[in-house]
Homo-oligomer: A and B are copies of this chain.
């Protein structure tokens, strides 16, 4: 049974009706083309209305739809070839992050991203897409390898956060995130980061420092998940939908803030309703942005990347009359 969100229900029902009618017409051999077209136009309008009115919380739930393409899905949809590489060369191979060399338009690129499972078994293998430090160390190793061979780096981000586990803490979850952020900032190759689903806090940022940061229409990216925010504010995770409003975590908000560079529009109804179409869309955006930054010399690239993050922050100088406190 595919998951159907409550706001999708009228749409899904209408679509079913249209399909039934189409089958009926086809069987009967009646010419109802115009009427069918009218109906479909109505469905389109409904779709648009529904998806334009989505609340932030609904978009968070879209980003978590179980049928939404995962990182490996996108890799298959977008690239011509993929050779997965494993291990951090220190401790383990984290299945919650995949990475390797892929081919885009005949050119090798390094692709990295957290990987969620689709069923329980796979979710256990993938630790529900929650990476351990060795996953981030693998990512870093592959990014440094990419730099050695002048390969562009593409990160596909879909992660609620770094795994909050005992062993993960033991092996330096915080430290490795900091290391990833620092190292990634200075890599002399073009980096495109795409938040495809969830962009949860430091666990997302650890592989999210790039020259272009794109976001799927219904992805979210925030310093904290709505649930955790609600827990802190009201000690009630069920008020996540209110928290989602406060956090300004949608692609629309983040584009306005200048945090991301572009929003990758999803097929009406969301990525989960059309993998192929979503893949084509992502590929088109990726191609365009990558081709732009590939023209920039490596030193310039790093300089711009640093400037980009350097200027983020909302503060103001204190007015002098407030400063009349003697030390």
Spell out A's residues near B (CB within 8 Å).
Answer: 89-91, 133, 137, 171-172, 175
Within the complex, the shortest CB–CB distance from A231 to chain B, in Å, comes to 31
Task: Give the number of times this chain occurs in the complex, counting copies.
Answer: 2
Instruction: List residues of chain B with CB within 8 A of the CB of A90.
Output: 90-91, 133, 137, 171-172
Q: Do residues A171 and B89 form an inter-chain contact, with CB atoms below 8 A?
A: no
CB < 8 Å neighbour of A172 from B89, B133, B171: B89
Report the separation of the CA atoms of residues A171 and B92 in the bound assembly, to the nearest whole angstrom.
8
Report the separation of the CA atoms of residues A91 and B172 in the bound assembly, to the nearest whole angstrom.
8
Given A89-B172, A90-B172, 9 more contacts at CB 8 Å? A89-B175, A90-B90, A90-B91, A90-B133, A90-B137, A90-B171, A91-B91, A91-B171, A91-B172
- Pull 11 A–B residue pairs with CB atoms less than 8 Å apart, ordered by A: A89-B172, A89-B175, A90-B90, A90-B91, A90-B133, A90-B137, A90-B171, A90-B172, A91-B91, A91-B171, A91-B172
Minimum CB distance partner of A179 in chain B? B89
Within the complex, the shortest CB–CB distance from A14 to chain B, in Å, comes to 55
Minimum CB distance partner of A134 in chain B? B90
Instruction: List residues of chain B with CB within 8 A of the CB of A133.
Output: 90
Within the complex, the shortest CB–CB distance from A140 to chain B, in Å, comes to 11
Within the complex, the shortest CB–CB distance from A180 to chain B, in Å, comes to 13
Within the complex, the shortest CB–CB distance from A318 to chain B, in Å, comes to 36
Minimum CB distance partner of A87 in chain B? B172
Report the separation of the CA atoms of residues A172 and B137 in the bound assembly, to the nearest whole angstrom.
15
Instruction: List residues of chain B with CB within 8 A of the CB of A175.
Output: 89
Within the complex, the shortest CB–CB distance from A212 to chain B, in Å, comes to 31
6 closest A-B pairs (Cβ-Cβ)?
A90-B90, A91-B171, A89-B175, A90-B172, A91-B91, A89-B172
Instruction: List residues of chain B with CB within 8 A of the CB of A137.
Output: 90
Within the complex, the shortest CB–CB distance from A296 to chain B, in Å, comes to 28
Instruction: List residues of chain B with CB within 8 A of the CB of A91.
Output: 90-91, 171-172
Report the separation of the CA atoms of residues A293 and B105 in the bound assembly, to the nearest whole angstrom.
52
Report the separation of the CA atoms of residues A205 and B242 in the bound assembly, to the nearest whole angstrom.
61
Within the complex, the shortest CB–CB distance from A114 to chain B, in Å, comes to 20
Report the separation of the CA atoms of residues A68 and B296 in the bound assembly, to the nearest whole angstrom.
60
Within the complex, the shortest CB–CB distance from A183 to chain B, in Å, comes to 13
Minimum CB distance partner of A175 in chain B? B89
Residue in A89, A91, A133, A137 whose Cβ sees the most chain B Cβ within 10 Å: A91
Report the separation of the CA atoms of residues A171 and B91 in the bound assembly, to the nearest whole angstrom.
5
Minimum CB distance partner of A176 in chain B? B90
Within the complex, the shortest CB–CB distance from A186 to chain B, in Å, comes to 15
Instruction: List residues of chain B with CB within 8 A of the CB of A89.
Output: 172, 175
Instruction: List residues of chain B with CB within 8 A of the CB of A171.
Output: 90-91
Report the separation of the CA atoms of residues A137 and B133 in the bound assembly, to the nearest whole angstrom.
16
Report the separation of the CA atoms of residues A173 and B175 in the bound assembly, to the nearest whole angstrom.
23
Report the separation of the CA atoms of residues A253 and B295 in the bound assembly, to the nearest whole angstrom.
59
Report the separation of the CA atoms of residues A137 and B88 in the bound assembly, to the nearest whole angstrom.
14
Within the complex, the shortest CB–CB distance from A27 to chain B, in Å, comes to 65
Minimum CB distance partner of A171 in chain B? B91
Report the separation of the CA atoms of residues A91 and B90 in the bound assembly, to the nearest whole angstrom.
9
